[in-house]
A and B are shown apart, each in its own frame.
Chain A
Amino acid sequence: MDRKEILIELKKVLAPYTESKEMLEGINEQTDLIKDLKINSANLVDIIIDAEAQYNIEIDFDAAEKMYNVGNCIDVIADKINKTA
């Protein structure tokens, strides 16, 4: 799965937690989950759990703390996918 494919799936993971649907359509690697997508911090763990299910991976403490913008989310997910492949 390349970064573009991960991004497409990531939009589905993020969709339930943002009311900024237009911003979600146009996200790029710099998009911040809280500042730009206005995702409530109380949903950050939901996003990690949903990403684990979506990509069939496990995201640990250290990886989870990096997932504050889209590019970092893709980095973590790509790394975990590669390790389970």
Chain B
Amino acid sequence: MISAGNDIVALKAIDKERTCLPAFYSKFIIPAELLLHNPDQISFENFVWLLWSVKESAYKYLKRGDSDLVFAPHKLSITEIRVPDDLETTELNTDQSVGLFYAGTVSFKGAEHHFQSVLNDDFVGSIIKGRHSCWGIRRINATDYSSQSAAVRLFVLDKLKESLTLDSLEIKKHAAGYPVLYNGNEPIDIPISFSHHDRYIAYSFQIPN
């Protein structure tokens, strides 16, 4: 299945104290995942939101193949987190300084999916990595939902227009809730995903072979 899934969490907008309470993180992190935390590499609060963003990305990725799927983060199991030796950053479109990169594996019903994440003091962003994944992260000034929603659509369409010579690109929503790229009334076979939180917007898409 060719799909796309991403997520972004604005770290200044979350409740740091609550994040570190077992009553909070145990709602979506299973005990085996806690063993993946390396305090020399990442603070616990950032680790919690890294895992959240990976699980949310995986859910979006899988939802495209199963419209009835519900978000059950404890069923998405992160089995590996590493700091990659070779950074594949060329597909990342951002004007933000990116601090740390992570990569790893998340599994669902026995199938493994690879993720990439970036983390700095302000955000953690993740994607499920396909063969030809592209992603972007941008900071915007507005924090209201409609502005975020409009900005992220513009962001991804601007990027797609660099390589697609189609006149009427637009994004519609599938009944299941995920975005679908259209040229006029014709759906385009490029799965896209986007996310926004507080002042950050992010997209990912995958170019088919």
Contact = CB atoms under 8 A, between A and B. Distances in A.
B72 A65 contact: yes
Given A46-B15, A49-B27, A38 B145 contact: yes
A52 B24 CA distance: 11
Instruction: Kindly state the interface size class of chain A when it binds its partner.
Output: 20 to 34
Contacts of A44: 71
A79 interface: no
Contacts of B24: 45, 49
B113 to A, nearest CB: 18
Given A65-B70, A65-B72, A41 B56 contact: yes
B145 A48 contact: no
Interface in B69-102: 70-72, 74-75
B52 A42 contact: yes
Contacts of B15: 46
Given A42-B13, A65-B72, 6 more contacts: A19-B145, A35-B177, A42-B197, A46-B15, A61-B74, A65-B75
A19 B196 CA distance: 15
A64 interface: yes
Nearest to A34: B177
A66 B72 CA distance: 9
Contacts of B106: none
Interface in A32-83: 34-35, 38, 40-42, 44-46, 48-49, 52, 59, 61, 64-66, 68
A49 B23 contact: yes
A65 B27 contact: no
A45 B52 CA distance: 10
